[in-house]
Structure 1
């Protein structure tokens, strides 16, 4: 049993290989390359050196805080502090697991506590904004 003839054949023309479509007799035209995704334009001159705050953790949101060397160092220290606090909370939750469940429920359910935490983060962001 013989396979059907191939639709395409390769020929050499002028020391170059060309693929010919045997149905049309013309060289195969390559499909156009897909257009590159358009890069999202940053709004209002905001770039990677700007921290834009959100309402859930900042009472004065939305605001744009410029990040310079000093504020970047403070944010790096904050990130390390949060990582250590999360590691300690995970360790304590393994030791005192029922208490950890009640603590999470109290943090999520208490609007007064959330308002106090938001006010604290707002004042910290005010200091960060003045340092910039």
Structure 2
């Protein structure tokens, strides 16, 4: 046996483990943020919503936030309306969350969680799950 093949044999367990780790990370979709810009935008809005909800924001703060959300997510909703369908269920769930539940949630979940917030969270969780399957 030559010295280079011995070196490769010693390194094989490490390289095999590294390859396996890379495959697991890619298959689990841990890097979801880089994969779907619409999901990232919607999730950023939701995080800001949760902050306002937690700090019991004033009526004026909520109205300003609603206006900002409309501006920020209007193009996202338009894009999702064109691309979401039964073959693209992750996009469909994001569309339902932003178009159907978020506007209602901005009014009825200011102080505590509402049914619309629950539905929004459910759709976004399903979208994330589906995106992670790819």
* TM-score normalised by length of structure 1: 0.24
Greater share of residues in strand: 1
